[in-house]
């Protein structure tokens, strides 16, 4: 175990959340650990959801308990079955299984309604006729107390009657709400008579038109946890100010009281996680859809070639904290490289091809050369790649007039072709504009496999593809969608789209070795010296291949960590 892995393991075993759970179980407060992951089915899961998702499922497993999947479907206007299905698929892709423990807040609509009636009967809830705007005006500010509604002192009998009639559909949408009667002068605005129910005639994806009143999220959330017997309701930090309200509901209703613990959410540099703004990118055609590989949704990351292992690794490395912070996107890329380095076969692909003709190689001949599939995995074995008189190499691997430290191919210079032979450039062919369009070389047949019998050395090894065996493919090179570390920060009058990266997608046509002719999106590969790629799950087909770059080989995170370690050593010295 290296030092990084050791530190990561210690984080996951000693963080404050796990400490609290151990204390609760040791004291006998709960018989079993039961957590939940409660997504709202109003969009697709994105990378920002993954920390809570992984944490709740992993905690349940670690302590021998269970994790419920519960859809908080209390807003029928924005929620759809499509999102329910997508969330299920994404969670399973990440490697988690909730078994039979799938629930919906809508499963509890009747129970929640009964809870609301109980609050009315206790005199701590009332029907209010103020509009949404008037309620906001009465609520006050962080420095000024709120003002009570003129309807706050309705009798219990009147409130019960009105609430029953709200359910029966006697009133127009928005004309009345049910509010809790708590404290309009509270320093916590969430306790200033929050709305519990609103009238909303909208078709629900599960209950249809059975209801015309729907509970607010804050009213459904804690009670749903209670109904399911959740032991530890692990929430991100923005719910800390809501905890007193959830406690108030549970105390008033005298029902099971889960323990709510807040932790910092996952945020990445150069990534937008606002659902509203992500929807704008889709609807404005800035991206091709929710699965555009530049998007932070799990389906987009999967299409780009990120693995579930790399995402879970990121969440583990980030750890559990009590203060929000932003993680470098480079760390996610580092996690992906570490995973793909072990599993992805190496192949040769030329993204910006220029032709090489080996003049002393027979025109009608070809060789089958042995190539290693993955030097990190001996069991991956080898494959054969064809070699012929005409090849393609990367245009950047040749310079007619190279600078001093350019060691790749140039006139008179010998280099090694990966797995093949030593070749020496003898001449070039140019077009009318003076541009090199073809490179002429000779090869040394005694260097087959890439080694010279006289032990002479070359300073560069370059990859190549046989021209007559090459497979054509479209290559999509992805970069971060936003140039700013925090794309939410914009000057007055500007929109977050001002930070869009105009070079977030570059498309090129490449030549690939023939082993990739039938490549599928299930198998990522490393294009040698270039990066990790995967066939596009939507557009790639046999005979019309499309590859997405998942991540380049250049690891800025590892380099940064090395530099910091070196600086630390110098400081100690």
pLDDT in tens, 126-136: 999 999 999 99
What pLDDT score was predicted for residue 563?
66
Strands 414-417 and 461-462: parallel
Residue 3 clears pLDDT 50, i.e. is over it: no
pLDDT greater than 60 at residue 30: yes
Residue 1 pLDDT > 70: no
- Is the pLDDT score of 229 beyond 70? yes
Burial class of residue 190 in the structure, from the number of CB atoms within 10 Å of its CB (0-12 exposed, 13-18 middle, 19+ buried): middle
Percent of the chain at pLDDT exceeding 90: 93
Whether the CB-CB separation of 119 and 252 falls below 8 Å is answered with yes
**Main-chain phi, psi angles of 7, to 5 degrees:** -65, -40
| pLDDT score recorded for residue 393 | 98
The encoded tokens of residue 478 equal 């992805």
- Output 554 or 71, whichever has higher pLDDT: 71
Q: What is the pLDDT of residues 377-416, one digit of tens each?
A: 999 999 999 999 999 999 999 999 999 999 999 999 999 9
Confidence of residue 565 (pLDDT cuts 50, 70, 90): low
Query: Between 12 and 411, whose confidence is greater?
Result: 411
Closest CA to 68 of 224, 193, 223, 255: 224
Over the chain, what is the mean pLDDT? 94
- pLDDT at res. 414: 97
Q: Which residues does the annotation mark as catalytic?
A: 40, 265, 275
* Neighbouring residues of 488: CB distance < 8 A, sequence distance ≥ 6: 272, 274, 496
CA dihedral (71, 72, 73, 75) in degrees, to 10, reads -150
- Strands 414-417 and 422-430 come out as antiparallel
**How many helices and strands in the chain, by DSSP H and E?**
14, 25
Q: What is the pLDDT of residues 313-337, one digit of tens each?
A: 999 999 999 999 999 999 999 999 9
Burial of 468 (0-12, 13-18, 19+ CB in 10 A): exposed
Q: Confidence band (pLDDT; 50, 70, 90) for 4?
A: very low
**pLDDT, mean of residues 560-572:** 65
Tens of pLDDT, residues 149-197: 999 999 999 999 999 999 999 999 999 999 999 999 999 999 999 999 9
Rg of the chain (C-alpha set) = 31
**pLDDT band per the 50, 70, 90 thresholds, residue 2:** very low
Q: Which domains does the chain have, with CATH numbers?
A: 31-263 (3.40.50.620), 275-345+474-559 (2.40.240.10), 349-463 (2.40.240.10)
What does the pLDDT read at residue 13? 62
């Amino acid at each position: 175990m290296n030092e990084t892995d050791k530190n990561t393991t210690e984080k996951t075993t000693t963080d404050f959340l796990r400490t609290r759970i151990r204390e609760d179980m040791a004291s006998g407060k709960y018989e079993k650990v039961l957590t939940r992951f409660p997504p709202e089915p109003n969009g697709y899961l994105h990378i920002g959801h993954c920390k809570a998702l992984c944490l709740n499922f992993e905690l349940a497993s670690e302590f021998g308990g269970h994790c419920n999947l519960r859809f908080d479907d209390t807003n029928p206007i924005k929620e759809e079955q499509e999102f329910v299905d997508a969330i299920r698929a994404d969670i399973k892709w990440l490697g988690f299984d909730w078994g039979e423990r799938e629930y919906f807040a809508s499963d509890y609509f009747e129970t929640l309604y009964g809870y609301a009636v109980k609050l009315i009967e206790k005199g701590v809830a009332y029907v209010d006729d103020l509009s949404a705007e008037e309620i906001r005006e009465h609520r006050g500010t962080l420095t000024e107390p709120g003002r009570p509604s003129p309807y706050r002192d309705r009798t219990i009998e009147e409130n019960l009657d009105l609430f029953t009639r709200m359910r029966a559909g006697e009133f127009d949408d928005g004309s009345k709400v049910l509010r809790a009667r708590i404290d309009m002068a509270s320093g916590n605005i969430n306790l200033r008579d929050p709305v519990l129910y609103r009238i909303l005639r909208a078709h629900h994806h599960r209950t249809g038109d059975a209801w015309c009143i729907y509970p607010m999220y804050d009213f459904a959330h804690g009670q749903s946890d209670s109904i399911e017997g959740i032991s530890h309701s692990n929430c991100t930090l923005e719910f800390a100010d809501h905890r007193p309200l959830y406690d108030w509901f549970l105390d008033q209703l005298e029902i099971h009281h889960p323990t709510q613990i807040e932790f910092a959410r996952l945020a990445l540099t150069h990534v937008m996680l606002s659902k509203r703004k992500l929807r704008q990118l889709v609807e404005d055609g800035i991206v091709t859809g929710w699965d555009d590989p530049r998007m932070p949704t799990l389906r987009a990351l999967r299409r780009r070639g990120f693995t579930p292992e790399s995402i879970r690794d990121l969440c583990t490395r980030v750890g559990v904290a009590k203060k929000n912070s932003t993680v470098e996107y480079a760390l996610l890329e580092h996690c992906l490289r570490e995973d793909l380095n072990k599993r992805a076969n190496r192949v040769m692909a030329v993204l910006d091809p220029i032709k090489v003709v080996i003049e002393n190689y027979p025109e009608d001949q070809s060789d089958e050369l042995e190539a290693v599939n993955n030097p990190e995995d001996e069991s991956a074995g080898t494959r054969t790649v064809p070699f012929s008189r005409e090849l393609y190499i990367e245009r950047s691997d040749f310079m007619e007039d190279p600078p001093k430290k350019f060691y790749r191919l140039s006139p008179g210079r010998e280099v090694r072709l990966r797995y093949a032979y030593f070749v020496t450039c003898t001449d070039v062919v140019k077009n009318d504009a003076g541009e090199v369009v073809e490179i002429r070389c000779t090869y040394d047949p005694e260097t087959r496999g890439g080694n010279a019998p006289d032990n002479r050395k070359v300073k560069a090894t370059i990859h190549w593809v046989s021209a007559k065996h090459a497979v054509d493919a479209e290559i999509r090179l992805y970069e971060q969608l936003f140039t700013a570390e925090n794309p939410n920060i914009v000057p007055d009058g500007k929109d977050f789209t001002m930070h869009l990266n105009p070079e977030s997608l570059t498309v090129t046509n490449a030549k690939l070795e023939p082993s990739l002719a039938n490549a599928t999106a299930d198998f990522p590969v490393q294009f040698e010296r270039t990066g990790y790629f995967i066939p596009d799950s939507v557009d790639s087909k046999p005979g019309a291949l499309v590859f997405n770059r998942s991540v380049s080989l250049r690891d800025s995170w590892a380099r940064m960590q090395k530099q910091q370690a070196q600086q630390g050593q110098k400081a100690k010295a």
